Structure formats: C-alpha cells, structure tokens
C-alpha cells in the first residue's frame, strides 16, 4: 500500500474551505478582476437570478485578463441567452428528478449514483442539473444511509458513483464515513467519484483524502470534469499525482461547448494536457438539452467532424468517446462517427 505523507488535518482542510469561502459570486466583481468592462454584459448578468454565479479565485487566475471571450470565463459568466426558452430543452433533460429514494439514482443495472452534496465550488452555466431539486435530495448521513440500505439489498450493483452537486464538497470526515459505509457492502467493488473540485480548487485533494482512498479495499476511480487545456495548471497536476500515488484511476469527461472547445486545436490541446497530467480522456459529451444552455450547443454533424479531426491529431488512447445521455436509457449513447 502506498505511503501517504500526512500533515495537520484541520489546517489542511481549512485551506480548501477558505478557498471555497472566497469564491466570487458577483459577476461584476468577476469582470472587474479580469479588467473587462461589464457594461456590454449588463443585460446578461441578471441571469445570475436564474442560476447563481460561483467561481473560485484559483479558476479565475487561469482566465486571460482583458478577454471577454476567454473559454474558462465563458463557462461561468451569466449571459442574456439564458433567458431564452428553446423547444426540445427542458429543466430535467435526463429525467432524473422523479427518483424514489432521495439522493439516489439507479439508472444503470450494475451501478447506482448518489447525490452526495447539492452544492458545487463552481456553477457551470451549461450544467444539466442547474434545475435539479437539491432541496428534496439533501446530502447527509441520514439520506446516505437510506440510499446505502437500498444498495445493500441489490446484489447486481457492484459500483457506486458519488456525484452531486459535487461530492467533494463533503468534508474529509464525511467522506471517510461514506467510504467506510460503502466498503461494508460486500458486493460493491468500485467507487467512482465525479468531481470538478480538483480542477477549480486543487487544494481539496488533501493528504487525508488520498490516504483514505489508498487504504480502502475499493477500486477507486476519480472522473474529473475538464473542458479546456487552460484549466490544467501546476496545482492540478500536483493534486493528480497525490491521487495516483493512492492508486486512484484518473479519467476525464468533458462537454463539447460552443465558444469553449468547438475546434480541433482546442480538443487536441485538451487531450494532450490531460494525458500529460496523468488523466485519460474518457467521455466527450454533446450538450444535454437543459433549458438555459442552448447557446452552448454544437450540433451532431459538427461534433462528428471535430472528432474526426481530433483522431487525426492524437493517439487513439487519447480520443474520448463521443456520447450523449438520453433520459430513460440504461446506458450512454455513442454517436456514430460516420461522416456523410
């Protein structure tokens, strides 16, 4: 078992909690910090009422000063287009909101997904759960235990996915409780954690978290959510190394987003940067049709062309699967890459 160096737990955890508390929630403050005149964007800034703005300073520091079209800024800045209502888009595009057990989604035969926490460190404007009723799916030990009791009675489930919100909004003590409780279910083999926190708050990957994952009997997979190479900095790479030392498998799923990564060069640089950081490109999702995010849509034909270009530029193991998720289906749906 790898040896993980530990430091004072309370002080290390306080680092990421302080970083979280200092996140920007005012779009004018965000634009001013980047030396961008907020006046042309005034109409769109009101969209924060539809979906709050939240972005940690660590992520802001990776944005280009003076560039209102920076690909990282575009992911978090409220825009006027969010007020538009589009046919074919809904507040529940994956049909998740009518779940029988609070905080548990059992869409796939061998795995179940737990909504561990409703909050995120960053609010991405294209989020498919931006309308999710987190108030009815509160993250806490009472609901977690109900969910795990269900899982314990379903022997076909061999993998638990921790999601949200963002599951790493849970403190290390809560994560330890969860991991122990999941490990106590004999038929669970794997733990998968889907999180954006390591990206926007690398300080969240504490030595204590790495140690508890290293010591667990479960095979652990961390799936990061990175859409652009500029999101990957030195601190993120260091956090990923800590997880690799804990024998955690690192994968990435991104979303194909207009104005962010909808060109072959951006996707190529993303795959290269991910692999350099020890993360394997896993999925590239076409946009889930959530109301308020239609301006990010890249159509299927363009998506196929982009993937064909990416395949010409990187090795096959660095090409993510192009997929979409359709509500009610028991697996993701790959997009045929045949070009007419």
Three state DSSP letters for the chain = CCCCCCCCHHHHHHHHHHHHHCCECCHHHHHHHCCCCCHHHHHHHHHHHCCCCCECHHHHCCCCCCCCCCHHHHHHCCCHHHHCCCCCCECCCCCCCCCCCCCEEEEECCEEEEEEECCCCCCCCCCCCCCCCHHHCCCCHHHHHHHHHHHHCCCCCCEEEEEECCHHHCCHHHHHHHHHHHHCCCCCCEEEEEECHHHHCHHHCCHHHHHHHHHCCCEEEEEECCCCHHHCCHHHHHHHHHHHHCCCEEEEEEECCCCCCCCHHHHHHHHHHHHHCCCEEEEEECCCCECCCHHHCCCHHHHHHHHHHHHHHCCHHHCCEEEECCCCCCCCEECCCCCC
pLDDT of residue 333: 78
Q: What is the mean pLDDT of residues 279-299?
A: 93
Q: What is the mean pLDDT of residues 223-251?
A: 98
CATH number for the domain running over 104-334: 3.20.20.70
Report whether pLDDT(7) > 50: no
Picking from 44-48, 93-97, 112-116, 287-291, which range would have the lowest pLDDT averaged per residue? 93-97
Model confidence band, residue 5 (pLDDT cutoffs 50, 70, 90) = very low
More confident: 313 or 9: 313
Q: What is the mean pLDDT of residues 219-225?
A: 98
Where in the chain do CATH 3.20.20.70 domains reside? 104-334
210 is in an annotated binding site: no
Picking from 31-45, 51-65, 130-144, which range would have the lowest pLDDT averaged per residue? 130-144
127 is in an annotated binding site: yes
């Amino acid at each position: 078992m790898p040896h993980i160096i530990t430091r004072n737990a309370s002080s290390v955890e306080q680092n990421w909690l302080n970083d979280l508390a200092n996140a920007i929630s005012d779009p004018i403050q965000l634009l001013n910090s980047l030396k961008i005149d907020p006046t042309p964007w005034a109409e769109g800034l009101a969209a924060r009422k539809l979906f709050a703005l939240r972005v940690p300073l660590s992520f802001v520091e990776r944005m280009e000063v003076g560039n209102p079209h920076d690909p990282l800024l575009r992911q978090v800045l409220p825009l006027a287009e969010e007020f538009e209502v589009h046919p074919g888009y809904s507040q529940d595009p994956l049909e998740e909101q009518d779940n029988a057990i609070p905080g548990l989604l059992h869409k796939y035969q061998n795995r179940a997904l737990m909504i561990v926490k409703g909050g995120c460190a960053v609010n991405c404007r294209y989020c498919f759960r931006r309308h999710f009723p987190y108030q009815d799916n509160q993250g806490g030990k009472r609901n977690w235990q109900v969910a795990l009791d269900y899982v314990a009675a379903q022997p076909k489930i061999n993998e638990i996915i921790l999601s949200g919100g963002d599951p790493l909004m849970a403190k290390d003590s809560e994560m330890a409780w969860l991991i122990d409780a999941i490990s106590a279910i004999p038929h669970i083999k794997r733990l998968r954690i889907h999180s954006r926190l390591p990206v926007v708050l690398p300080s969240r990957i504490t030595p204590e978290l790495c140690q508890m994952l290293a010591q667990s009997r479960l095979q652990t997979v961390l799936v990061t959510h990175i859409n652009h190479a500029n999101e990957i900095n030195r601190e993120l790479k260091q956090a990923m190394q800590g997880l690799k030392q804990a024998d955690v498998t690192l994968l990435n799923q991104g979303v194909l987003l207009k104005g962010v990564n909808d060109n072959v060069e951006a996707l190529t640089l993303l795959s290269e940067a991910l692999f350099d950081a020890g993360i394997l490109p896993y999925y590239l999702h076409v946009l889930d049709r959530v109301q308020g995010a239609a301006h990010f849509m890249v159509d299927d034909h363009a998506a196929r062309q982009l993937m064909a270009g990416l395949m010409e530029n990187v090795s096959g193991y660095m090409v993510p699967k192009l997929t979409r998720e359709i509500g009610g289906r028991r697996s993701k749906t790959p997009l045929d890459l045949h070009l007419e």
